[in-house]
A and B are shown apart, each in its own frame.
Chain A
Amino acid sequence: MSEPMEEEVKEAIQHLKQGDINGLEPLVRRYQLKALRVAYLIVRDHQLAEDIVEEAFLRAFDRIHQFDSSRAFEPWFLKIVINMARRAAVRYGRQTRLLDEDPQVLSTRGPNLNIRALETDAEYADALQALWIALGMLDVDQRVVLIQRYYLGLSESEIACRTQSPLGTIKWRLHAARKFLRRLLQADL
């Protein structure tokens, strides 16, 4: 983060800590896109992701006094988003059961996730769609870890630290998620 941006975030947080709601706008502008995309990958629904992130910003505002200003805001805020999205995905998954997403469809389609080998836009679109469906079929906890590892680029230790889970659990979830995707997509993940 550049220094002026860091200053702007610090100033916004200071405003929030003083109860000034105007402090929220710069934080929303800066972090909404990343938060929305993480939530979207976890819950796989645009509207639900928006609801979650909106709620997460209000929750962050409500709990801003628990935030240590000497630390970075983004990990603290994304932790709120991820927790909320995870809970929503569990609830949502129970309701929908992904009825229209049949693993058979994926294996017969035989998508190739080696991007360099994808020669046409259609192949690329197929690969995207296949991974999207496969993500939805993952266990929620495995999906959350996979997104933290490969979308947010966190190390396994960082994920363990942020989720306060044993490192072994994180490693196992990642391994299980990759194995599931590999089997389903017939790709070398």
Chain B
Amino acid sequence: MEEKGNLRKILSELAIQGIPESTDLWPRIRDRLQRISLLDRLKRRTALPGGSWLILALGIALVIGLVLNPGNTQAASFIARIMEHDKRVMTIDLDKGIRLNEPRTIQGVTVTLFGIHGNEEYLILEYAVQSPSGQRFEPRDERLLETVCYAWDGTYGFNEDTHILHLNLPAEETGYLAIFRNKCRFPPKQLHFELYVQEVIVPPSVSSDANSGQVLEPVPAGRIIGPFEFSIEVPTN
């Protein structure tokens, strides 16, 4: 029995010698978590879940089309129809949730968070971006901070009155519906929504005449403004 006690004692001693009391893994774990979070965000930007690229592309194309040609109501109705049949949107009762009207303005760009809807699977944030006259800004990065529960799953863009969301947007404002998928069984009650916007630089129209001798200049990257920050309570149906 005594020898077994000795074995215990020697194992303890070996463990203490190998791993001193001062050892602290937290800084490297914290760094790793931050890296994972950053990679996750980058991945979200480059590898959208199935179908999201199409929705995003359709949304952006329609938004740009509508801005250039606000009379194009057929296209707007089309995206509204897509949205109505999107399973993620269908699972949430958009009449429920929280109605907000929280504007944030930075350098002349105003982002207004209109509402939040959610259930166990998805969280939908409605917001609009109002650009200064003669300029156009689009969302660049939508993030829910301090949580790993929600993964960005796509964004719809629209700029007409939509009966789905009961919004009446003025011509200079573009509405967005950001969808986040919930990965946790018990989502957090409080979230921090952060958003950047980037100026869209429209390239000058180029003559199709190959003999015109016109030299194409690279289109400069637009200004990035933000973050627009919102603290929100998460509603569930």
Contact = CB atoms under 8 A, between A and B. Distances in A.
A115 to B, nearest CB: 5
A186 interface: no
Contacts, number: 114
Interface string B197-228: 00000000000000000000000000000000
A38 B14 CA distance: 11
Contact of B146 (A20, A24, A115, A153): A20
Contacts of B17: 128
Contacts of A41: 11, 14-15, 18
Contacts of A20: 146-147, 188
A147 B29 contact: no
B54 to A, nearest CB: 28
Contacts of B6: 113-115
Contacts of B189: 18
Contacts of B149: 18-19
Interface stretch (A45-53, A90-98, A99-107, A157-165): A45-53
A24 B16 CA distance: 24
Contacts of B81: none
Contacts of B183: 19
A65 B19 contact: no
Contacts of B24: 32
A33 interface: yes
B46 interface: no
B2 to A, nearest CB: 8
A168 to B, nearest CB: 20
B15 A19 contact: no
Interface residues of B, number: 41
Contacts of B11: 41, 131, 147, 150-151
Contacts of A18: 147, 149, 184, 186-189
Interface residues of A, number: 41
A17 to B, nearest CB: 5
Interface in A3-22: 17-22
B87 interface: no
Contacts of B2: 114, 116
Contacts of A187: 3
**SS class of chain B's interface: helix, strand, loop or mixed?**
helix
A50 B32 CA distance: 13
Contacts of B184: 17-19, 65
A131 B26 CA distance: 31
A24 B33 contact: yes
B3 A151 contact: no
Contacts of A53: 25
A57 B13 CA distance: 25
Contacts of A21: 33, 37, 146-148
A144 interface: no
A150 B186 contact: no
Contact of B26 (A32, A40, A150, A151): A32
A22 B19 contact: no
Contact of A151 (B15, B36, B37, B187): B15
Given A17-B186, A37-B15, A150 B29 contact: no
A25 interface: yes
Nearest to B23: A36
16 contacts: A17-B185, A18-B187, A21-B33, A28-B25, A33-B23, A41-B14, A41-B15, A46-B19, A57-B29, A65-B185, A128-B14, A135-B14, A150-B11, A151-B15, A189-B4, A189-B7
Interface of B: 2-4, 6-19, 21, 23-26, 28-30, 32-33, 36-37, 146-150, 183-189
Given A37-B15, A58-B33, A114-B3, 19 more contacts: A17-B185, A19-B149, A20-B147, A20-B188, A28-B25, A32-B23, A46-B18, A46-B19, A53-B25, A54-B29, A58-B29, A58-B36, A65-B185, A114-B6, A115-B9, A132-B14, A135-B14, A151-B11, A151-B12
